[in-house]
Amino acid sequence: MDRRRETPVTWLKRWAEARADEIFLSQPLPGGGARELTWREVDDQAHRLAAGLRDLGLARGARIGLLSQNCAEWFVTDLALMVGGYVSVPIYPTANADTIRYTLRHSGARAVFVGKLDDDAGQEPGIGTDLLRIGLPYETLDVDHTWGDLIGSHTPRLDEPGPEPEDVMTIVYTSGSTGAPKGAVRTFASMAWSGDAICRDLDARSGDRLVSYLPLAHITERTYIEMTALCAGLPVGFVDSRESFTDDVCRARPTLFISIPRLWKLFRDRAIEKIGPRRFKLMSLFAPTRKLLGARILRGLGLDHARVLGSGSAPISPALLEWYAALGIEICEAWGMTEVGAYATISLPFRRDKIGSCGRPALDSEVRVSDRGELLFRGPGMMREYLDNPEATAAALGDDGFFHTGDHCRIDEDDYVWIDGRLGDNFKTTRGKWVAPLPIEQRLDRLRVVDRSCVIGARLSLPVALVQLVDDAAARRRDGLRARFATVLNEINRGRESHERLDAIVVVADTWTTTNDVLTPTSKIRRHVLEERFGERVQGARGGKVYWLDEL
């Protein structure tokens, strides 16, 4: 069959026949052990669920929300929606009620699947009472129909026509870091191409294993994990909870593993803490013990079988990648967006001389730089359009089909892309001078005591860095932390243009979360929100000093 005509439904059918009794999905159970589903069982459940949705009066093409933490049933539900000709609308399980309400209404969803959630009571108002609710087999919200009832009372309708590559498969909403989320319309062809291209690029093979724990509502997990698993016929393990993360990853023993910068930093900090800072530093001095350290870290994380390690979703500090590389742990950075299907550039194979770049273009894709330094991308995995937003679609997709990413970059002689920030993140101070915050934030984020940082200054004469401490650092004496931050502040300002120098570092006590609207569901910081909340409060933070917010 022409691979350009294949869809995830095609792949499911292939593996349900060729690997019928092999384990596809493994869902950890809270008390230990796991619930395992074979390819044949997943195929059967997906078709039964699709038949159940049809009997509920949902016609082909209906848009259906999917609000749940990652689990085996998320995959089965997504496949059922594909089999039945529905359009899935995934929603982050951490989304607040306003975001849930907006996504369901804007997409025109007729029904919603609900499963494990972070805040049932706080999120339920976002669903309202007018949508048909279907509950996954977990403790969740009140529902009209349960997963077990629909699957148990229906037989597969094998005469259902399969989707065509040009049909709409899903509407994936952007994180909304600068405004209301936009719905990227993705076809079966674009999603399937991304999964197939990743498998080719990573040389996915029999014996590879995956683990799913980053939100499946995000395009990265959906593409790199779900689409890759379906394309190559790979088993997928899930993570039951934050507390069981390490145990569940160790059980899955993934060979291909992707994470986000914040977790790679957390893995590093925990490794140093567990071994002991002084002992770790001593062992890092010698090549043989450095390799032992690296092997010990990977083994402790359950990643000792991993042949490809990746980082995506947000920029990662080059210093952090260097730290891992010195221990023999090679983490390949990749870049993508909801609109381009996550798989856009990738630094594979790992090259230490390219640390700091986000890699070369994906297979069959092109990159170039606009006159204003913006990264432009074109490839088969791109979205078709923004839902009901022709103006934004026209602005994002030029006449030549290149997507305007909003990232400022350069492309080197080897076609590797080096992004130095978002064009929309750069701001002018009241002096009328432009400041690029990303390099400053990356230097601050290298500190083990820093959880997150954000540089603001649109209402100031000079930029100020807001810093949130990790939990164990918040209780430390301020004098020691102040001295440490002062050293870094002087280091940051050394050699910078006068208008780019930090006027101060301000340590804030409140936690930045999705609930208080500072973070997007993908953990990106909404800079404009912090500008609004702290712009006036930090007016007194001057003179290249370090403050706590309650001191101002």
Q: Indicate the pTM of the whole model.
A: 0.89
Pairing relation of β-strands 111-114 and 63-67? parallel
CA-based nearest residue to 210, from 24, 393, 361, 389: 24
DSSP secondary structure string, 134-158?
A: EE-SSS-S--SEEHHHHHHT----T
CATH 3.30.70.370 fits 427-551, yes or no: no
Strand partners, 169: none
Contact assessment for residue 415 and residue 361, using Cβ atoms and an 8 Å cutoff: yes
CA-based nearest residue to 472, from 506, 505, 449: 449
Contact assessment for residue 321 and residue 331, using Cβ atoms and an 8 Å cutoff: yes
CATH number of 3-8+10-232: 3.40.50.980
Please state the three-class secondary structure of 244-296 as a single string: CHHHHHHHHCCCEEEECHHHHHHHHHHHHHHHCHHHHHHHCCCHHHHHHHHHH
Contact assessment for residue 356 and residue 315, using Cβ atoms and an 8 Å cutoff: no
pLDDT at 196: 96
The boundaries of every CATH 3.40.50.980 domain in the chain are 3-8+10-232
The rounded Cα 288 to chain-centroid distance in angstroms is 35
Distances (CA, A) of 126 to 96, 142, 176, 339, 388: 8, 14, 17, 25, 21
Buried b (16+ CB within 10 A) or exposed e, 154-163: bebeeebeeb
CATH topology of domain 256-304+307-422: Rossmann fold (3.40.50)
Q: How far apart are CA 329 and CA 321, in angstroms?
A: 9
Strand partners, 355: 357
Q: Which two tokens stand for residue 334?
A: 């990749």
Q: Please give the chain's pLDDT, 552 residues, in tens.
A: 567 789 999 999 999 999 999 999 999 998 888 999 999 999 999 999 999 999 999 999 999 999 999 999 999 999 999 999 999 999 999 988 999 999 999 999 999 999 999 889 999 999 999 999 999 999 999 999 999 999 999 999 877 788 999 999 999 999 776 668 899 999 999 999 999 999 999 999 999 999 999 999 999 999 999 999 999 999 999 999 989 999 999 999 999 999 999 899 999 999 998 999 899 988 988 888 999 999 999 999 999 999 999 998 888 989 999 999 999 999 999 999 999 999 999 999 999 999 999 999 999 999 999 999 999 999 999 999 999 999 999 999 988 899 999 999 999 999 999 998 888 888 888 888 888 898 899 889 888 899 999 999 988 889 999 999 988 787 788 998 999 999 999 999 998 888 889 999 999 988 888 888 888 877 788 888 998 898 888 988 888 899 999 998
The boundaries of every CATH 3.30.300.30 domain in the chain are 427-551
The boundaries of every CATH 3.40.50.12780 domain in the chain are 256-304+307-422
pLDDT at 178: 64
Please state the three-class secondary structure of 282-301 as a single string: HHCCCHHHHHHHHHHHHHHH
